[in-house]
Amino acid sequence: MYDLIIIGAGVTGASIARRLSRYKLDILVLEKENDVSMGASKANSAIVHGGYAEPHHELRGRICYEGRKEFKKLDEELNFGFLENGSLVLAFSEEDEKELEKLMAMGLENGLDDLEIIDQKKLREIEPNVSDEATSALYCNGAGVCSPYEYVIALMENAIANGTDLKLESRVTNIEKNDDVFTVITENGDKYEGKYVINASGLEGARVSQMITQTDFTIHPRSGEYLLMQKGTGSRTKQVLFQTPSPKSKGILVTRTYHNNLLLGPDAIDEEEIDRGTHIERLAEIYDLAQKSVKDGVINLKEFIRSFTGLRPASSTGDFIIENTKTNGFINVVGIQSPGITSSPAIAKIVEGILKDIGLKLEDDPSYNPHRDPIIKYKELEDFNKVIKKVDLHLGNPERLVCRCEQVSEKTIRDAMNRGLPCNSFDSIKRRTRAGMGFCQGSFCRSRVIEVMEDELGHKVKSDRFDSEHSGITRVNKADINKFIKTLEKESKI
């Protein structure tokens, strides 16, 4: 029997698992997908938010900054990729400037000490490519960007190294409680017993909660679409550039990713059904709005490589839900939308406190090791003419370049597969190593990656079952974008 069963291996479940793996506990994490970080945790803005965008009366407003302050140390321990490059909320009118004052007041109430409103002169000093139309900005020095899926992978790798069990492809179908013992049943027919259960199941949060306790909230998907440009384009902006927020969104942003791609988005649409596709009309509006933030030429659609949609698990309460329920020992940690990644270290601490208060004994494990070596580190690409010979090396040579665009070696792929966290698909390697994330989006390296995987595993990879390219999801691609560019050029001549 487990001391604790965590349902969901997104950023929330992984943060809780890693936090509690420092104690002498038997912990199990159940994840319905074939990998960790498969929901909102992998498809988002990747921003480590300042902590000024939500009011203090909301839980997410009170804990965002507390979470943000942990990221430097977490990155030092786990090596997932964090860049503290700062953020700017841009004002273009007197109305916008009033909004900056409101955000500033919320930030101060939330405890921020690195927040200021700056004028045009300072704005252009720290962000040369900002739009000439911007009149002022709210500057948060300590905000930044991270690699979100690498963060979750690092959390779970470290939790597993410290004794946590993980079961993938284990969707929970029922939960029972008898004599203070929970029985969690999966669609595979497996049954697991635990003293406490944490519901961190994202979009399925209400469904899972209803299995075992009174549930007075709903969870619905709020979709946001993004455009991603090729590597190297991100250096055109120094900070994360926001526009003044709307009631649903922090505003269209222009930012570099941790790995130096330019990222635009998201919009925010409340959905009734899950739709992970992208739509040219929505992306066109994002592109149009994003251009407002920067000088002409910063955003070039000819550098587009991918569109994607993130689905945020928005709760009917409008806030995070973190509570021991009426079924004592069953703890809901749901409705964790933005700023969920930033808040995740603080969320884990809250859950730890709840468990302690309701009777879980927390005894330090002297063998706990908080360190996790990186799979990859940020790098600028080498001149291809210098590395081209490595592409033609044979399978089994550690230095062989399996992916040309991101220059990923066979050694790196094999390392990713031998860390205690299963890799069952091409996409799982993609998230760990960046193979397939470059300009050709895997058209060259996909078969080569799978070749290495099958050699390492000793059996065929059922990649078609899992990978996004074979999932039936309809995404706007390069051909669609090129057609859109031609339409824009034609309209500009009329």
List the catalytic residues. Answer: 49
DSSP H/E element including 413: helix 410-416
Instruction: Say how many residues make up the chain.
Output: 494
What residues contact residue 124 under an 8 Å CB cut-off, 6+ apart? 130
Q: Are 220 and 270 in contact (CB under 8 A)?
A: yes
Give 180-223 as a DSSP string: TEEEEEETTS-EEEEEEEEE--GGGHHHHHHTTS-----EEEEE
Q: Which residue carries 């919320």 as its tokens?
A: 106
- The C-alpha R_g of the chain, in whole angstroms, comes to 23
Instruction: Report the C-alpha gap between 420 and 432 in whole angstroms.
Output: 13
Closest by CA position to 243, among listed 106, 134, 83, 120: 134
Q: Are 139 and 88 in contact (CB under 8 A)?
A: yes
Instruction: Report the C-alpha gap between 473 and 278 in whole angstroms.
Output: 9
According to DSSP, the β-strands at 115-119 and 165-167 are unpaired
Q: Are 312 and 224 in contact (CB under 8 A)?
A: yes
DSSP H/E element including 14: helix 11-20
What residues contact residue 489 under an 8 Å CB cut-off, 6+ apart? none
Q: What is the three-class DSSP state of 468?
A: helix
DSSP H/E element including 405: none
Q: Are 126 and 143 in contact (CB under 8 A)?
A: no
Long-range CB contact pairs, 281-289, < 8 A, 24+: 282/225, 283/225, 283/227, 283/307, 283/476, 283/481, 284/484, 286/225, 286/226, 286/227, 286/252, 287/227, 289/243, 289/252
Q: Which residue carries 């069952």 as its tokens?
A: 424
- Under DSSP, the state recorded for 135 is -
